[in-house]
Amino acid sequence: MASRSYQNAKGDNVEVQITGDSAMVSQIATFLNNPALAGAMGKLVRVGNRRAIQDSDGNVKMVVANKFMISVEGSTDAASKVAYAQAIDIAKLMKL
């Protein structure tokens, strides 16, 4: 697992976590592949060309290459969390 925290001038924070080879990866992937199940966790959003789940707090979870789970959480607004998720270099992760 790798994580990084960011904070803006207003004091809002975001934490980006990338977890590899975890049981959570397959569980989240199952939800992402079934829109009815995903609706129970939040709403489906697009992060680039990938599906992600955004919960009621705006936190974003997505799976890359069925190997990595990306989680973006914090006190900032939902749109900022999606922007942080979009800034991740998915192509590099897929090569690992």
Q: Looking at residue 75, what is its pLDDT?
A: 97
Q: Looking at residue 28, what is its pLDDT?
A: 83
Alpha-carbon distance 26 to 66, whole Å?
Answer: 7
List, for the chain, all residue ranges whose pLDDT scores fall below the cut of 70: none
Q: Provide the residue range defining the domain that includes 10.
A: 2-95
Domain count, the chain: 1
Q: Looking at residue 87, what is its pLDDT?
A: 96
Q: Looking at residue 62, what is its pLDDT?
A: 93
Rounded (5°) CA angle 29-4-77: 75
Q: Strand 43-47 and strand 13-20: pairing?
A: unpaired
Q: Looking at residue 41, what is its pLDDT?
A: 84
